[in-house]
Amino acid sequence: MPLILFDFDGVLADTLNDMLRFAQETCNELNIHHTVVQADLSELEVMSFATFGRACEVPEDLVGEFVRRCTGKFAEKKSPPGIFDGLGEVIRKLAQEHLIAVVTGNTTKNVNAFLLHHGLTDFVRAVYGVDLPGSKVEKILMAKNQFVAEDEMVLMLGDSVSDVRAAKEAGVLSIAVGWGHQSLKKLIDAQPDAFVHSPAEILDVIGKLTHRDQTNRTKT
């Protein structure tokens, strides 16, 4: 059964405003005199809380604390972030014929709270969070080794250049989404296998990639 991997922030969860606010609050707490703007996030080459902190002029010896405080603020929120319109139904439909997992720079606890809040816990097999050792590439490979046979298709949906690059390095297909945190130009320049402008396009694009993958297997 094919495996579909979702990034979390900016792909499933609408966390942009929270990320900007929590980053500013954390900078203030750490006495870092930086005004956080959206470009600090959207122009990153590697999308993570650590690189976000560095873009916010956080000194290297405080980057770990920046990450801890930002993810902690998500955990302390009274309710998890919202889900992008239509994605809940997309995941439910995908889960009928695919395995679903999340690979993220956020914590497993925060993602699980989000899935529970939006009624998606039963549709997601695993969450590979920042609390799990390893790079995003290593976590993609971990999920691949755990859930699929060698010749089965794996897709990674992400909103950043680093998601596309991680997918390519791990030898899986990539779909870039146009509603996330990264600038569209950077995403297109990264040359993902497919690009979707809205959640409504995901099922159709995955269907086409699945058909292409099956056709290529038949030829070989």
Domain-wise residue ranges, the chain: 3-13+83-219, 16-76
Place of tokens 């290529």: 216
Kindly state the DSSP code that residue 190 receives in the 8-state scheme. T
Give residue 219's pLDDT band: very low, low, confident or very high (50, 70, 90). low
* CA 169 – CA 152 distance, rounded (Å): 17
CATH number of this structure's domain 3-13+83-219: 3.40.50.1000
37-67 pLDDT, tens per residue? 999 998 887 888 999 999 999 999 999 999 9
SS3 content of the chain, % helix, strand, coil (to 5): 50, 15, 35
Kindly state the DSSP code that residue 123 receives in the 8-state scheme. G
* CA 220 – CA 185 distance, rounded (Å): 35
**Upper half-sphere CA count for residue 152 (Cβ side, 13 Å):** 15
pTM: 0.87
